[in-house]
Structure 1
Amino acid sequence: MGMIGGGPGAFIGPVHRIAAEMDREIELVAGAFSSDAARSAAAGEVYRIDPARAYSDVAAMLAGEAARDDGIDFVAIVSPNHHHLPAARAALAAGIPVLSDKPMTATLAEAKELAALVAAAGLPYGLTYTYSGYPLVREARARIAAGAIGTVRKVVVEYPQGWLAGEAAGKQAEWRVDPARAGDGGCIGDIGVHAFHLAEFVTGLAVTELLADLGAVVPGRALDDDCTVLLRFANGARGVLLASQIEVGELNGLRFRIYGDKGGLTWRQEEPNTLILNRLDGSSEVIRAGTGLLGPDAAARSRTPGGHPEGYLEAFANLYRDFAAQLRGEPAPLLPGIAEGLRSMAFIAAAVAASRARAGWVTLDI
């Protein structure tokens, strides 16, 4: 694997590296970790790769690896949003598959361009919508598909954080509030898109309409930091998506509650090894990770026995495991890809435009 981004001070680069190597199917061997050659070299030392394979830019990495008999098999793009399209374009042009951090690109127009490039290249492309890798998220999806809660009626998905309630200081904060690097959406593109993907992934239903109220609560901020979006799904179900980065005291409180005519399912990212199924007759079932109660996909994505917590890194590793399967030509139907990327970018664009125009309900038709 070659990594694009993830240089000194980056949070997500080390996460990708640990997750990629967890199952010993993938090894990080090269990278263009920063556009600054010295910083890229410094990152290479931290990642403990051959110094000759810590490149000064993406073009140098692709050329250098192409000249090797043991060159990279794919790239992981872990840089800010505005880098996603040019990095993916360069990799695909070199015949290299791509696994990218979310969102797909900075704008919907860029996403459509990238989708065309992937189709023309005919190469694997995946997106790390992390939370779809959690075993109990996949268990919830399987149970809903099997009719455990009946017909879905209501979907509530929340993603509260508080880390941007004040001044956006530091590398991780600064690019997220900068339209030139983050794209059209702030909070909606950073974490709201995770919530949107999770709502569709778990229910198996497409959002068809939305009504959005996005705001920049912190004075002087150019992009939204607080979002409320009402949703309507293809089967007539209604939903609400709440995402915020100004809720003081909140850490990473992603949560879904999905209600059908026979029951409801609840899951929290901060307690990811528990899924609660509530039934119409008043009974409840507490489903634990790592137990014999799980279906085949969730069981296959669990690494430890019940009572031994698994979380964020393992969920990320499950997506890398899926991508490795794709590279071998094996099916990995739950790995997010182009279709999910396009829908997510369409959601961001529609929510931002509708909120700014106070347009009321708008159609999501991609």
Structure 2
Amino acid sequence: MTAPIRIGMVGGGFMGRVHRMAQRLDGDYQLIAGAFSSDPERARSSGKALNLDPARVYTDFTTMAEREAAREDGIHVVSIVTPNHLHAPIAQAFIEAGIHVICEKPLSISLEEAMALRALVRRHGVQLLLTHNYSGYPAVRRARQLIREGTLGELRLVEVDYAQDWLSEAGSEGWRGDPALAGPAGALGDIGIHAWQLADYVTGREIDTLSADLHTFVAGRQLDDFAQAMLRYRDGARGRLSVSQVSPGNNNRLRLAVYGSRGGLHFDQESPDALWFARLGDPLQRLSRNGPGSGAADLQASRLPAGHPEGYLEAFAQLYRDFACSLRGEAPPDIALPDVDTGCRGLAFVEAMLASSQSNGAWTAPAYPTD
């Protein structure tokens, strides 16, 4: 049996619990170190609750990176689950220590920071996974494969929407409402970047220019709680993106529709076990996870027989499992894990959205990195 990969964690909260569950699901990782809080008592309490060696519970990430790198039994990879403004400095400390990184999105709070991390990853030869977990769903991978095979024909339209309601009233923002901690984008940086990545991953098409409108509905809020854009793709396709955290009745309604000259696809994150496919002129089909016609990419991301639902945690765990394969030098199917380049391109999208909205919707080209 392959030994689990030694992993550490910086940060905590809700997403910390999600990441730890994802790490455990397939037995690929063992959590052995962490910096869960800068407060010594909280750090010790968190470490004790996770049955960690007290000597490997830290109160700052710099010390953790240095000491773990110096140990023969040190961690191989670190998981970063902190507010956005800390992603880049924490990732930098561990990359420079030669430790692989799993980072919550967004990669940083600016494209400049993200590009600096990209250079560090290449210089130190480490791997970085960005947890855009929706790309771990089997249905999403099946949609990507169908498009790559040309099943839809020439792509014409891409529509992606992400609606939530938890910011419909003032006072619930937490650190996500503080530009110093969250960065310059609110709903756009929190869920808009997920919507962008889902469309980007499935279609494989890059946005050429976009016309954006960001708005803040709740009085006193410093960051956007709504964003929308018209999209023009480099191959001539057109698109639309809309994200809102002030839409009552919506929890995590992330939906993607892609239409081509020969057919269309529709995915709904709240019903993730199915992909809806319409071949032009034929009845609408429900393609079940692990059902007839499944391919290598989506079968590899499916753990249970069709009809036994899999969802958010399994998709999250799939990224961890695929990253474990990559760290071990194994070869999973062609699934294109979200990495440091994905993070840079995502920040280029965010900054183009901000610039366009500030210019009254002027068509703006994302400054995607080039080699």
TM-score band by shorter chain is: over 0.9
1:55 partnered with 2:61 = no
Aligned partner of 1:323 in structure 2 is 323
Aligned partner of 1:116 in structure 2 is 119
* Distance in 1 between residues matched to 2:309 and 2:177, nearest whole Å: 33
Kept in 2: contact 1:208–1:365 (CA 8 A): no
Gaps of 5+ in 1: none
Aligned partner of 1:102 in structure 2 is 105
Aligned partner of 1:197 in structure 2 is 197
Aligned partner of 1:291 in structure 2 is 291
Kept in 1: contact 2:162–2:255 (CA 8 A): yes
Which deviates further from its counterpart, 321-330 or 12-21?
Answer: 321-330
* Distance in 2 between residues matched to 1:194 and 1:132, nearest whole Å: 9
Q: 1:167 aligns with which of 167, 170, 181?
A: 170
After TM superposition, give the deviation of residue 331 of structure 1 in Å.
4.3
1:183 partnered with 2:183 = yes
Alignment of 1:21-32 (within 5 A): 21-32=24-35
After TM superposition, give the deviation of residue 260 of structure 1 in Å.
0.5
| One-letter amino acid of the counterpart of residue 71, structure 1 | G
| One-letter amino acid of the counterpart of residue 136, structure 2 | G
Aligned partner of 1:353 in structure 2 is 355
1:45 partnered with 2:51 = no
After TM superposition, give the deviation of residue 168 of structure 1 in Å.
3.0
* Distance in 2 between residues matched to 1:66 and 1:127, nearest whole Å: 22
Aligned partner of 1:3 in structure 2 is 9
After TM superposition, give the deviation of residue 11 of structure 1 in Å.
0.8
Kept in 1: contact 2:155–2:258 (CA 8 A): yes
Aligned partner of 2:345 in structure 1 is 343
SS in structure 2 at match of 1:4: strand
| One-letter amino acid of the counterpart of residue 340, structure 2 | I
After TM superposition, give the deviation of residue 99 of structure 1 in Å.
1.0
Kept in 1: contact 2:352–2:367 (CA 8 A): no
| One-letter amino acid of the counterpart of residue 347, structure 1 | F
* Distance in 2 between residues matched to 1:186 and 1:193, nearest whole Å: 10
SS in structure 1 at match of 2:253: coil
* Distance in 1 between residues matched to 2:273 and 2:316, nearest whole Å: 15
| One-letter amino acid of the counterpart of residue 12, structure 1 | M
**CA offsets 1:85-141 (integer angstroms, 9 cap, x no match):** 110110011111111111110111111111111121111111000100001000000
* Distance in 2 between residues matched to 1:152 and 1:55, nearest whole Å: 50
* Distance in 1 between residues matched to 2:204 and 2:349, nearest whole Å: 16
After TM superposition, give the deviation of residue 182 of structure 1 in Å.
0.5
Aligned partner of 2:39 in structure 1 is 36
After TM superposition, give the deviation of residue 284 of structure 1 in Å.
1.7
* Distance in 1 between residues matched to 2:85 and 2:260, nearest whole Å: 39
Kept in 1: contact 2:213–2:361 (CA 8 A): no
SS in structure 2 at match of 1:222: coil
* Distance in 2 between residues matched to 1:359 and 1:286, nearest whole Å: 37
1:65 partnered with 2:52 = no
Question: Under a length normalisation based on structure 2, what TM-score does the superposition of the two structures give?
Answer: 0.94
**CA offsets 1:169-203 (integer angstroms, 9 cap, x no match):** 3xxx3111110000111100000000001111101
Aligned partner of 1:235 in structure 2 is 235
Question: Under a length normalisation based on structure 1, what TM-score does the superposition of the two structures give?
Answer: 0.96
After TM superposition, give the deviation of residue 293 of structure 1 in Å.
2.3
SS in structure 2 at match of 1:271: coil
- Aligned pair count? 360
**CA offsets 1:313-342 (integer angstroms, 9 cap, x no match):** 110111111111221123455211121111
Kept in 1: contact 2:205–2:235 (CA 8 A): yes
Kept in 1: contact 2:162–2:252 (CA 8 A): yes
Aligned partner of 1:267 in structure 2 is 267
Kept in 1: contact 2:69–2:98 (CA 8 A): no
* Distance in 2 between residues matched to 1:134 and 1:235, nearest whole Å: 26
* Distance in 2 between residues matched to 1:268 and 1:28, nearest whole Å: 33
* Distance in 1 between residues matched to 2:249 and 2:205, nearest whole Å: 32
Aligned partner of 1:17 in structure 2 is 20
SS in structure 2 at match of 1:111: helix
Aligned partner of 1:126 in structure 2 is 129
| One-letter amino acid of the counterpart of residue 11, structure 2 | G
RMSD: 1.2
* Distance in 2 between residues matched to 1:42 and 1:336, nearest whole Å: 33
After TM superposition, give the deviation of residue 290 of structure 1 in Å.
2.3
Aligned partner of 1:245 in structure 2 is 245
**CA offsets 1:239-287 (integer angstroms, 9 cap, x no match):** 0001000001110000101101111100100000011101211322110
Gaps of 5+ in 2: 1-6
* Distance in 1 between residues matched to 2:296 and 2:280, nearest whole Å: 26
After TM superposition, give the deviation of residue 46 of structure 1 in Å.
2.8
